[in-house]
């Protein structure tokens, strides 16, 4: 008999090193070339068996250091981690009900895919709790069914996503990159940012992987990487939150090797030359009106891991 009653999985946030967005497709999604990079800013997801609940049904709780962020995390079946447990339960006869506890450190609605990371972690945790026997390839497919950003946190490190971002190819990257993230007050809705993108760029070309970026990653060269960071959603995020421009400018003025809005924002990402340089950049950003907080992190780091 399997005596496991509780499993904790640690899962990283992502920053997009390139986010190239094509025209809206017939199915409503945009074609993307999305270079994901996993950074050392982690949520922890603990699932515990609740045999008094139907298989796959979840009750949720959450804690974390930022009450304003926690207040935006749904604790019902709308939580992506609950949806992940329900989906995996349909593929294993050994499923139970679960209690899911989220320890949130990834900013909520911050463009760092925290909800997707929690969904990936819940898949891995429930897979271990239930000893589901679902093959890895199928876990990745279930992840893609949950959302375009859910497969990547299963892999971690650095990878390029094509299609709607869910078809992943790892990009081996030697060395470590040091980052500062400037968190903003309040979140930005991903759907609203894409809608603004469509308004600003009705003529978007087909997205392509940037060769300078790929070369910078292959060489592990932070200076080259800093100048190659791009995000097609950045003008849309800045249009909705104009104050972010001054955060990006301040980071550049303080010597960041690169500055870019992360995903759909409003978090801004800054590349530093070393851990010490990152701490200095964070100190320079902290006083800004538009910067609610800063965190430093490094990447790449592995994907969802059972603790």
Which positions make up the binding site for ATP? Answer: 107-117
Supply the minimum distance, in Å, between the C-beta of residue 143 and ligand ATP. Answer: 13
Please identify, using beta-carbon distances, which residue of 118 and 290 lies nearer to ligand ATP: 118
Indicate which residue of 14, 104, 118, 232 is catalytic. Answer: 14
Indicate which residue of 43, 118, 127, 149 is catalytic. Answer: 149
3-state class of 194 per DSSP? Answer: helix
Please identify, using beta-carbon distances, which residue of 129 and 193 lies nearer to ligand ATP: 193
Strands 58-64 and 97-104: parallel
- Long-range pairs for 257-260 at CB < 8 Å and ≥24 separation? 257/222, 257/223, 257/225, 257/226, 257/227, 258/225, 258/226, 258/227, 258/228, 258/229, 259/229, 260/16, 260/229, 260/230, 260/231, 260/234
Annotated binding-site members: 107-117
Please identify, using beta-carbon distances, which residue of 188 and 272 lies nearer to ligand ATP: 188
Query: Is residue 121 within 8 Å of residue 303, measured between CB atoms?
Result: no
Supply the minimum distance, in Å, between the C-beta of residue 248 and ligand ATP. Answer: 18
Q: Closest CB to ligand ATP belongs to which residue? A: 115
Strands 268-272 and 258-261: antiparallel
Closest CA to 262 of 159, 181, 161, 199: 181
Give the interface with ligand ATP as residue ranges (CB under 6 A).
72-74, 79-81, 102, 108-116, 118, 149, 187, 190, 263-264
Please identify, using beta-carbon distances, which residue of 161 and 222 lies nearer to ligand ATP: 161
Please identify, using beta-carbon distances, which residue of 114 and 151 lies nearer to ligand ATP: 114
Cα 262 from Cα 270, distance rounded (Å): 9
Residue 149 is a catalytic residue: yes
Supply the minimum distance, in Å, between the C-beta of residue 114 and ligand ATP. Answer: 3
Cα 156 from Cα 302, distance rounded (Å): 5
List beta partners, residue 57. none
Supply the minimum distance, in Å, between the C-beta of residue 17 and ligand ATP. Answer: 14
Closest CA to 234 of 82, 19, 8, 22: 19
Strands 30-50 and 97-104: antiparallel
Query: Is residue 272 within 8 Å of residue 39, measured between CB atoms?
Result: no
Closest CA to 85 of 38, 156, 134, 29: 134
Residue 68 is a catalytic residue: no
Q: Which residues are catalytic?
A: 14, 149
């Amino acid at each position: 008999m399997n005596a496991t009653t509780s499993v904790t999985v640690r899962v990283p946030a992502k920053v997009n090193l390139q986010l190239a967005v094509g025209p809206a497709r017939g199915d409503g999604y945009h074609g993307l070339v999305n270079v994901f990079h996993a950074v050392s800013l982690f949520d922890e997801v603990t699932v515990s068996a609740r045999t008094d609940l139907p298989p796959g049904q979840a009750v949720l709780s959450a804690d974390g250091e930022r009450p304003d962020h926690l207040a935006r995390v749904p604790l019902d079946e709308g939580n992506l981690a609950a949806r992940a447990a329900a989906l995996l339960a349909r593929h294993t006869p050994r499923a139970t009900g679960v209690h899911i506890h989220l320890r949130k450190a990834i900013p909520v609605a911050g463009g760092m895919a925290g909800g997707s990371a929690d969904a990936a972690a819940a898949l891995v945790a429930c897979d271990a709790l239930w000893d589901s026997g679902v093959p890895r390839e199928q876990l990745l497919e279930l992840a893609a069914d949950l959302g375009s950003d859910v497969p990547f946190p299963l892999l971690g490190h650095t990878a390029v996503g094509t299609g709607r971002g869910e078809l992943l190819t790892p990009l081996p990257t030697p060395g470590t990159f040091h980052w500062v993230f400037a968190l903003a007050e309040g979140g930005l809705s991903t759907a609203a940012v894409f809608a603004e993108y469509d308004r600003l760029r009705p003529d978007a070309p087909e997205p392509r992987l940037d060769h300078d970026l790929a070369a910078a990653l292959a060489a592990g060269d932070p200076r080259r990487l800093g100048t190659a960071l791009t995000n097609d959603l950045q003008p849309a995020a800045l249009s909705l939150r104009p104050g972010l421009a001054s955060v990006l400018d301040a980071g550049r003025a303080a010597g960041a090797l690169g500055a870019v809005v992360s995903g759909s924002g409003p978090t801004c990402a800054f590349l530093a030359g070393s851990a010490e340089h990152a701490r200095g950049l964070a100190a320079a950003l902290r006083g800004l009106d538009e910067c609610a907080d800063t965190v430093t992190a490094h990447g790449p780091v592995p994907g969802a891991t059972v603790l």
